[in-house]
Amino acid sequence: MLKAIIFDLDGVICSTDEYHYLAWKAMADDLGVYFDRTINNRLRGVSRMASLDIVLERYEGPALSEERKLSLAAQKNELYRSLLARMSPEDLSDEVKTTLAALRARGLKLAIGSSSKNTPFILSRLGLGDYFDAISDGNNIVRSKPDPEVFLRAAEYLGEAPSDCLVVEDAVSGAEAGHRGGFQVACVGDASLAGAGDWNLTSFSALLQVAESFDCPPAATAKPAGVAANPYLPL
Ligand code: BG6
Ligand code: MG
């Protein structure tokens, strides 16, 4: 039975890719390291320090101490937060807003499961500071996706079993985290194109159909053996 939905934040509820790109690019330029949007795409769903390691793959200078790495990550985050500060409730799309409201109206609990330590700031910029029933983020976990910790914590905060929760993700590592935690997973964006979910959606609002499918008798929703349900992927 579906009782709750746990949403990843970046790339699912809102789009922060460009801000991440601009902030990492400025830091990389300062350090003289090549960085582009293709590398930026690899940072989706990856924690801040693990992202820094990916950015530094092209670094050829003298070895960097842990302290220096922390200061580079802090430099990136400072610029990133100054860009996030430009966000407002207008950056929340009507589609996301109305879909969240419709899911809640069905009696579902709604939570956030994000690797970002900036989750509270982003939610407050979007006007969603008090909206979710639970928030699990980069501030309460020690292991990043694809480890399931962030989603398991969200389910615990909600008081629901993972098997009764649906995870919504845009990153393949996040979809893997959901599956490893025993959750069903609906994907949008990159993860959907990669077919990483049990449902691979072409729109956020298609979540309403996913939620409805849980109300149907099992025979009507049974997946053919070995084939993941994939009703929303474009042909
Ligand atoms: C994830 C993003 O949600 O949060 C990643 O997809 C990001 O790109 C990670 O690196 C950590 O974010 P933050 O805000 O804690 O630096
Ligand atoms: Mg994401």
Tell whether the model's pLDDT for residue 159 goes beyond 70.
yes
Percent of the chain with pLDDT over 70: 91
Ligand 1 mean position to 169 CA, how many Å?
13
Q: With 70 as the cut, is the pLDDT of residue 56 above it?
A: yes
Which ligand sits nearest to residue 43's alpha carbon?
1
Q: Which of 8, 46, 122, 168 gets mutated to test ligand 1 (max ligand atoms within 8 A of its CB)?
A: 46
pLDDT at 216: 62
Q: Enter the pTM of the model.
A: 0.91
User: Nearest CA to 170 among 197, 207, 149, 139?
Assistant: 197
| CB neighbour list of residue 48: distance below 8 Å, 6 or more residues apart | 73, 76, 77, 117, 138
pLDDT bin (cut points 50, 70, 90) of residue 215 is: confident
Q: Is the pLDDT of residue 224 over 60?
A: no
Nearest CA to ligand 1 atom 1: 45
Residue written as tokens 């220096």? 68
| Pair 175, 196: CB distance under 8 Å | yes
Atom of ligand 1 lying closest to residue 9 CA = 3
Q: Which atom of ligand 1 is nearest to the CA of 45?
A: 6
SS3 141: coil
Provide the token pair at 203: 């729109």
Name the closest ligand to CA 81.
1
- The set of catalytic residues is 8, 10
C-alpha to C-alpha distances, 20 to 72, 80, 85, 112, 206, nearest whole angstrom: 14, 6, 13, 19, 27
Supply the DSSP string of 170-205, one letter for each residue. Answer: SSHHHHHHHHHTT-EEEE-HHHHHTT-SSEE-SSGG
Two tokens, residue 186: 């609906």
Q: Ligand 1 atom closest to Cα of 115?
A: 4
The CB of 149 under 6 Å from ligand 1? The reply is: no
pLDDT in tens, 185-200: 999 999 999 999 999 9
Does pLDDT of 219 surpass 70? no
Residue type, 18: E
**173 close to ligand 1 (CB < 6 Angstrom):** no
Token representation of residue 11: 């790339």
- Distance of CA 135 from the midpoint of ligand 2 (Å): 15
Q: What angle do CA 134, 229, 15 make, to 5 degrees?
A: 45
Sign of CA dihedral 128, 132, 134, 137: negative
Query: Would you say 23 and 16 are in contact if contact means Cβ atoms under 8 Å apart?
Result: no
Task: Give the whole-angstrom CA distance, residue 147 versus residue 143.
Answer: 6
Mean pLDDT (whole number) for 57-61: 96
Closest CA to 186 of 2, 52, 7, 1: 7
Q: Could you report the per-residue pLDDT of 75-127, keeping only the tens digit for each?
A: 999 999 999 999 999 999 999 999 999 999 999 999 999 999 999 999 999 99
Q: Is the pLDDT of residue 207 over 80?
A: yes
